[in-house]
Amino acid sequence: MAYSPDRSQYPQKKADGTLDIDLSSGKYLKLWQGPQHPGITGNMSIEITVCGDEVVEGITHVGYLHRGFEKLMERRSFIQCFPIVCRICVPEPDFNEYCYAAAVEELAGVEIPERAKWIRAMILEMGRINSYLMYLGGQAGALGQAVISQWATYVRDLMLDRFEELTGARIYHMFIMPGGVRDDLPIGFKKRMQDTLQEIEKTMQDIYSVMFCNAVFHKRTEGIGIIENRWLDRYGVTGPCIRAAGVPRDVRKDQPYLVYQHLDFDPVVGENSDIYTRADVRRRDLLLSVDLIRQILSRMPEANGSTMATIPNVLHWKIAPGETYVRGECSRGEYGYYLVTDGSGYPRRVNVRGPSYTHAMSLFERMVVNCNIADVAALLVSLHTYPPEIER
């Protein structure tokens, strides 16, 4: 068959629509990227078939981290579920705590104190900054810029210090619980948080200069990994990935929760929907989070009593039959909890909707076709996926 510049011609399709890949022909090679690989986000793997240096098929394999959280929760009381949900997502665990707590409160008819809502929003923004910092390190690392991850880790560590003094823990905070938050802000927290935000902004300037103004980074990311507009709804694209395509979709703005209706901001959007635009949208979104934390700290009502609502005895807490879905905008897109109760002391069903579920599976498998093998890692990282959300 004569060479055709139309790369979508390879490989040809069989009559039933499946790809005609004959490994014994010597034309194709099958490679595994992951589960232990620097070009993979977390513990998952991609089964790639290449023709030369071009990917003709990519299949995502997950299951290396399955812990059966959804099943575990069906055998635990509502309060027993609270300390395990954060473990579903390591880099940004707070959304699990918030979505679970908000779903339980909604079905149980619990109204949380106003100040707890502001503290929750601040924690979620702090978690978002941490997650973006990890992403920036990973995105730059996938293209050979190791120093960015070191700088990002430095400022992330400062934010982890703030988490530690606020919640007592650095990674899994277990701070947002059904009924409110565990405690109020420590004395002097606002000042230390302002200092941390200032340091983050300063480091982000350096990251911008070294990473985003770098000619190699431009060359390797512009025009590559484009998510076409017609794929957005078909593949359930949310978060920075959809905003980088020019759609101002942000749950914080579209369906405000907690206190976001009291904050002044516009969703960060891009235009080109390529790897560079997605990275830039996340960088600007990180700076937006810095601004939102400042707004929260200045507008938060003064401490007035407990940050916890009165909830029933948690050992005997039964919730009337019902079902709900609660969502939030995490750093990767729409995060949600679908909770069904049956009147007993245990959840009937909990389903966790993480943005990686659609991004890393169907969307990535669609996007990786006709991609150069050297760009696979950068493409996957640009979708900002965390495997534990997929397999829970």
Partner 1 sequence: MQALYDKLKQHYALGELSEQRADLCFFTVPREHLSSLLLYLRDVEGYTHLVLLTAVDWIEQNQFQLTYLVNNRLSANDIGIRVLIDRDVASMESIHHLWPTAATYQRELKEMFGIDFPGSPRIDEDFILEGWQDLPPYRRDFDTLKYSEQTYRDRPGRVTHDPASHMKQQLYPDAED
The footprint of partner 1 (CB under 8 A) covers 62-63, 66, 68, 70-71, 74-75, 106, 233-236, 238, 249, 254-255, 322-325, 327, 334, 336, 338, 340, 348-349, 351, 353, 357-358, 361-363, 366, 391
What are the φ and ψ backbone dihedral angles of 60, each rounded to 5 degrees?
-85, 135
As beta bridge partners, residue 19 has 13
Residues 6+ apart with CB under 8 A from 64: 35, 43, 44, 45, 387
Exposure on the CB side of residue 60, measured as CA atoms within 13 A: 28
Return the residue matching tokens 């076709």: 369
Angle between helices 146-167 and 189-207 (to 10 degrees): 170
Distance of CA 249 to the CA centre of its chain: 15
Shortest reach from residue 358's CB to partner 1, in Å: 5
CB of 174 to partner 1, least distance (A): 23
Nearer Cβ to partner 1 (361/371): 361
Residue 303 exposed, middle or buried by CB count within 10 Å (0-12, 13-18, 19+): exposed
Q: Least distance in Å: CB of 200 to partner 1?
A: 31
Q: Which is nearer to partner 1, 170 or 366 (CB)?
A: 366
Nearer to partner 1 by C-beta: 153 or 255?
A: 255
Q: Which of 205, 288, 297 is nearest to 259 (CA)?
A: 297
Smallest distance from the beta carbon of 137 to partner 1, in angstroms?
28
**Least distance from partner 1 to the Cβ atom of residue 75, Å:** 7
**By C-beta, is 141 or 178 nearer to partner 1?**
178
Neighbours of 364 (CB within 10 A): 25
Residue number with CB closer to partner 1 (33 or 130): 33
Rounded to whole angstroms, how far apart are CA atoms 232 and 237? Answer: 5
Shortest separation between residue 328's beta carbon and partner 1, angstroms: 13
CB nearer partner 1, residue 138 or residue 240: 240
